[in-house]
């Protein structure tokens, strides 16, 4: 028996040596080849880890500098055109409120207590109030997202009471208008209405400004009626404005048949950015098992696909999504909102393909090039409702808010 085992072992060794000789490799070379495979894999993993750390480090630098620069300018907004300066100086108005939405997201990602104290001080100075001249208008619900954030994170019950009064009034007298923007323009004092349909959410921007606040109100009060209203009105607007053919949102009904210079439909970059950034934040506010969750995710995926197909080579999304030559310069507010939304999808496992990851990193790289070392965000289209020209020096608070949203998600980047 011992002889047989020894003989078999000898034969096996001879065969192994013979195979090595046939392959042109010595046993020593064969061992080195095998050992080199895990070494290469380890090198690749190390490279990926370094890349991830680099992105996260840049996100921390960009987010911190942008937040601090914008806060430092709040007492001096002379760089903003006079036509929108007074409204930009009003913390309750949507322009500044959009900055706080990005800032509170950044605080959640960094646990920056100094910035949290600043937000609390601003809200206290405003007595947690909304603009009441047009209580139904979505733009004037945007600041409620910050008040409700404070109510949840700092347990300040006073923070949501004024908003609750407005929302309760709306529920007691729900608007009975359609979503067509064809009505004549009107105004309520100094605050403009584009049409009577703005008593509801009949334009794309509204879906960033208001629905999340209604979901937050249900979270802090425990009363489902607020989310029920917000969910119903969101889907009325989304079904009306979303194009299944293009995977994009029209800004409002006036653009259904509009054509750009190249004959393509007019889809506004920031208008789509508003909606695409809102969807993840609404999803996060939904209670576990909410019946609309799957529907929001389905819309998110369709919108993501429509947007990813339109990223320019330089990483930015064009101001006019279907006509990149309409405004050839970068536009950072739309790009910031879209990059945030896509990065959220990757980080949460909804977008898990390499193409999506590459598009996010390309968008983030473009954003970093638009932020100066001191934190000023450039290439931000000013207040409008359609694709308009942009200059490098153009900057606005909602543009910084968009950058903070993107930076907060890139802090979690885990490619």
- Give 383-403 pLDDT, tens digit per residue: 999 999 999 999 999 999 999
CA distances from 169 to 114, 135, 386 (A): 35, 9, 32
Does residue 212 have a pLDDT over 60? yes
Q: How far apart are CA 357 and CA 368, in angstroms?
A: 17
Instruction: Report if residue 283 sits inside a domain.
Output: yes
Looking at per-residue confidence, does 47 or 413 come out higher? 413
What DSSP line would sit under 306-333, residue for residue? HHHTT--TTSPPPSBTT-TTTS-S--HH
* Residue 44: pLDDT over 90: no
For residue 9, tell me if it sits in a domain. Answer: no
| pLDDT for the residue 42 | 73
CATH of the domain at 229: 1.50.10.10
Its pTM stands at 0.88
Q: pLDDT tier at 274 (50, 70, 90 boundaries)? A: very high
Q: What is the C-alpha to C-alpha distance for residues 343 and 412, in angstroms, rounded to an integer?
A: 9
Pairing of strands 248-249, 242-243: antiparallel
pLDDT digits (tens, 9 = 90+) for 372-386: 999 999 999 999 999
| Structural domain boundaries, residue 326 | 25-410
- 175, part of any domain: yes
Is 129:162 a contact under the CB 8 Å cutoff? yes
User: pLDDT digits over 298-328, tens only?
Assistant: 999 999 999 999 999 999 999 999 999 999 9
- What confidence tens digit (pLDDT) does each residue in 323-378 have? 999 999 999 999 999 999 999 999 999 999 999 999 999 999 999 999 999 999 99
d(CA 97, CA 79): 18
Question: How confident is the model over 116-174, as pLDDT tens digits?
Answer: 999 999 999 999 999 999 999 999 999 999 999 999 999 999 999 999 999 999 999 99
Q: Kind and range of the H or E element at 9?
A: helix 2-23
In a domain, 15, yes or no: no
Those residues whose C-beta lies under 8 Å from the C-beta of residue 353, and which sit 6 or more positions away, are none
- Asked whether residue 235 is domain-assigned, the answer is yes
Residue numbers annotated as active site: 205
- Which helix (H) or strand (E) segment holds residue 73: the answer is helix 27-73
Whether 11 is covered by a domain: the verdict is: no
When computed from its CA atoms, the radius of gyration of the chain, rounded to whole angstroms, is 27
For the chain, what is the domain count?
1
- The answer to whether position 2 is within a domain reads no
Domain annotation covers residue 325: yes
């Amino acid at each position: 028996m011992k002889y047989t085992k020894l003989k078999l072992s000898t034969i096996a060794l001879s065969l192994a040596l013979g195979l090595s000789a046939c392959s042109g490799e010595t046993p020593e070379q064969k061992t080195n080849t095998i050992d080199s495979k895990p070494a290469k894999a380890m090198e690749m993993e190390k490279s990926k880890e370094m890349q991830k750390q680099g992105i996260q480090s840049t996100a921390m630098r960009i987010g911190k500098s942008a937040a601090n620069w914008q806060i430092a300018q709040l007492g001096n907004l002379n760089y903003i055109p006079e036509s929108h300066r007074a409204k930009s100086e009003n913390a309750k108005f949507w322009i500044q409120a959009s900055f706080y939405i990005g800032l509170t997201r950044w605080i959640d990602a960094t646990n920056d207590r100094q910035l949290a104290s600043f937000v609390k001080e601003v809200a206290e100075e405003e007595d947690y109030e909304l603009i009441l001249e047009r209580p139904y208008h979505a733009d004037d619900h945007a600041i409620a997202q910050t008040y409700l954030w404070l109510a949840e994170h700092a347990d300040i019950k006073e923070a949501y009471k004024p908003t609750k009064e407005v929302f309760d009034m709306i529920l007691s007298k729900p608007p009975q208008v359609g979503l067509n923007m064809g009505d004549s323009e009107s105004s309520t004092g100094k605050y403009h209405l584009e049409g009577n349909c703005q008593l509801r959410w009949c334009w794309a921007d509204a879906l960033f400004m208001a629905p999340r606040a209604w979901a937050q109100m249900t979270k802090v009060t425990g009363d489902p009626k607020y989310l029920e209203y917000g969910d119903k009105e969101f889907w009325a607007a989304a079904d009306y404005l979303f194009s299944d053919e293009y995977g994009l949102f029209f800004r409002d009904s006036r653009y259904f048949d509009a054509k750009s210079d190249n004959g393509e439909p007019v889809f506004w970059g920031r208008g789509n950015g508003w909606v695409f950034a809102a969807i993840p934040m609404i999803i996060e506010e939904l209670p576990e098992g909410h019946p609309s969750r799957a529907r929001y995710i389905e819309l998110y995926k369709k919108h993501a696909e429509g947007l990813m197909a339109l990223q320019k080579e330089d990483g930015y999304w064009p101001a006019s999504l279907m006509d990149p030559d309409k405004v050839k310069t970068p536009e950072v507010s739309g790009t910031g909102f879209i990059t945030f939304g896509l990065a959220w999808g990757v980080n949460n496992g909804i977008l898990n393909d390499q193409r999506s990851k590459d598009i996010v990193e390309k968008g983030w790289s473009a954003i970093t090039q638009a932020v100066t070392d001191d934190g000023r965000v450039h290439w931000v289209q000013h207040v409008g409702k359609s694709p308009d020209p942009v200059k490098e020096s153009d900057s606005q608070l909602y543009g910084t808010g968009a950058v903070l949203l993107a930076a907060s998600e890139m802090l979690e980047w885990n490619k």
